[in-house]
Amino acid sequence: MITGGRDAAQLYKRWMKANVLSSIPKFLDLFLTDERCVPRSHSDSNYHLIMEQLFAGKLPQDVAFHRIYGEAADLQVEACRYEQLLPASVDLLILSMGDDGHIASLFPGSSALYETERKFVPVMGPKAPFCRLTITPPVIRSAKRVYVLALGDKKRRKYEEALLDPEDISSIPARLVLDKTWIFDLDKEIDLCPKL
């Protein structure tokens, strides 16, 4: 399960250049952590970003990329549909922390941070496009391996702020994953390519 965002785009460019997915010995089911409620060809679409940055517009034959229909007329119905596709536990979850400390589309103050039953829900974000669909904490907690991208000094400082009060997920949602593997520099800290 992978995410969108600037940090993730940097990682996917590296993966594409290194042809990482060709080294995966079996069929790959690929899921999105979240999506903005826009058509798949829209520049704000996570699906669009991943197709361009990771797959150069052409999906490999042995990869099933389960798209979120952000343009769906009924977001509750779409959330239920996508939720049914998700496995009980994802093998690998890649998140990217935003400048405000959000992960996926779990933003500060969101009621979705306290969801315990649903795996996937519609939410409102703080900036356009406001409508989004996102995974919830149960998906994050059940993932077998979690990596969190937080590239740059500003995000490192937000991570350090999160450490000061680790229980307050409402103000910094990334506190949900403080005990996971954090990547602050793609060159120095970790090479995610062999970890797949």
Q: What is the DSSP string of 45-114?
A: -HHHHHHHHTTTT---TTEEEE---TT-S-HHHHHHHHHHHS-SS-SEEEEE--TTS-BTTB-TT-GGGG
Whole-number percent of the chain with pLDDT over 70? 95
CATH at residue 59: 3.40.50.1360
CA quadruple 174, 180, 183, 184: dihedral sign: positive
Q: How many domains does the chain have?
A: 1
pTM score of the predicted model: 0.93
pLDDT band at 10 (very low <50, low <70, confident <90, very high): very high
In a domain, 131, yes or no: yes
DSSP element (H, E) containing 183: strand 181-183
In a domain, 145, yes or no: yes
In a domain, 37, yes or no: yes
pLDDT above 90: residue 17: no
In a domain, 1, yes or no: no
In a domain, 93, yes or no: yes
**For the chain, what is the total number of helices (H) and then of strands (E)?**
5, 8
Mean pLDDT along residues 179-185:
95
Q: To the nearest whole number, what is the mean pLDDT of the chain? A: 93
Q: What is the pLDDT of residue 80?
A: 98
Q: What is the pLDDT of residue 191?
A: 57
Following CA atoms 182, 119, 91, 102 in sequence, which dihedral angle do they give, to the nearest 10 degrees? -10
Domain housing 134:
6-189
In a domain, 66, yes or no: yes
pLDDT above 90: residue 92: yes
CA–centroid distance for 26 within its chain: 22
pLDDT above 50: residue 196: no
Mean pLDDT along residues 151-177:
97
In a domain, 82, yes or no: yes
Encoding tokens for residue 77?
């119905």
In a domain, 195, yes or no: no
CA–centroid distance for 60 within its chain: 21
Encoding tokens for residue 182?
């954090």
Q: What is the pLDDT of residue 194?
A: 47
